[in-house]
């Protein structure tokens, strides 16, 4: 499995990384975000939303579990931190989203790993010890589509655009 990592030095840089990823997204893409509280999952999501052309505020849907936005593609932003169990995902009708025509962004995705599609992009955000504003963003693609996506993203980041 390819594992790529990118370091960001500020919340804005993390958002910009999300924004760059957004330019490459296609209908049906599933992006899973993991990392502790405050790691930057929502910051990254805000960047993705911006990159998809979503206007207006994007906040963690912690209590609602999902927020829907309209951009270049529909954006389904999940935060499953407060999920009680898999039945909550059933109640949400998750399959309509995961196998639909929009982009799914799932904060705390590991909590619902049993229902995640096998092919997806896992992104893990880790705080760097002793550096308050640094995050290491690990990309773990599963499946051809997502390996290609990460390769394109790395190229985009390195081209400085």
Residue 47 Cβ vs Mg ion, minimum distance, rounded to whole Å? 13
Q: Which of 4, 23, 50, 60 binds Mg ion (CB under 5 A)?
A: 60
Residue 12 Cβ vs ligand ADP, minimum distance, rounded to whole Å? 8
Looking at the DSSP assignment, which residues form a beta bridge with residue 67? 77
53 touches which of Mg ion, ligand ADP, none (CB within 5 to 8 A by kind)? none
- Of 94 and 108, which CB lies nearer to ligand ADP in the complex structure? 108
Residue 84 Cβ vs Mg ion, minimum distance, rounded to whole Å? 18
- Of 14 and 42, which CB lies nearer to Mg ion in the complex structure? 42
- Of 17 and 89, which CB lies nearer to ligand ADP in the complex structure? 17
Per rule CB under 5 A, is residue 135 in the interface with Mg ion? no
120 touches which of Mg ion, ligand ADP, none (CB within 5 to 8 A by kind)? none
CA distance 11 to 9: 7
SS (H, E, C) the chain: CCCEEEEECCHHHHHHHHHHHHCCCCCCCEEEEECCCCCCHHHHHHHHHHHCCCCCCCCCCCCCCEEEEECCCEEEEEECCCCCCHHHHHHHCHHHHHCCCCEEEEECHHHHHHHCCCCEEEEEEEECCCCCCCEEEEEEEECHHHHHHHHHHHHHHHHCC
- Of 47 and 102, which CB lies nearer to ligand ADP in the complex structure? 47
**Residues at the interface with ligand ADP (CB under 6 A):** 8-11, 13-14, 35, 37-43, 60, 107, 133-135
């Amino acid at each position: 499995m390819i594992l790529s990592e990118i370091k960001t030095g500020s919340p804005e840089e993390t958002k910009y990384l999300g924004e760059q990823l957004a330019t490459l997204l296609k209908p049906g893409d599933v992006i899973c975000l993991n990392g502790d509280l405050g790691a930057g999952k929502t910051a990254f999501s805000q960047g993705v939303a911006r990159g998809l052309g979503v206007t207006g505020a994007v906040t963690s849907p912690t209590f609602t579990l999902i927020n829907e936005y309209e951009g270049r593609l529909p954006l389904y932003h999940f935060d499953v931190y407060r999920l009680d169990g898999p039945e909550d995902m059933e109640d949400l009708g998750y399959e309509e989203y995961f196998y639909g025509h929009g982009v799914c962004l799932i904060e705390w995705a590991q909590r619902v790993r049993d229902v995640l599609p096998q092919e997806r992009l896992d992104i893990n955000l880790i705080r760097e010890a002793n550096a308050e504003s640094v995050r290491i963003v690990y990309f773990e693609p599963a499946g051809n589509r997502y390996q290609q996506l990460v390769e394109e993203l790395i190229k985009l980041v390195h081209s400085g655009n």
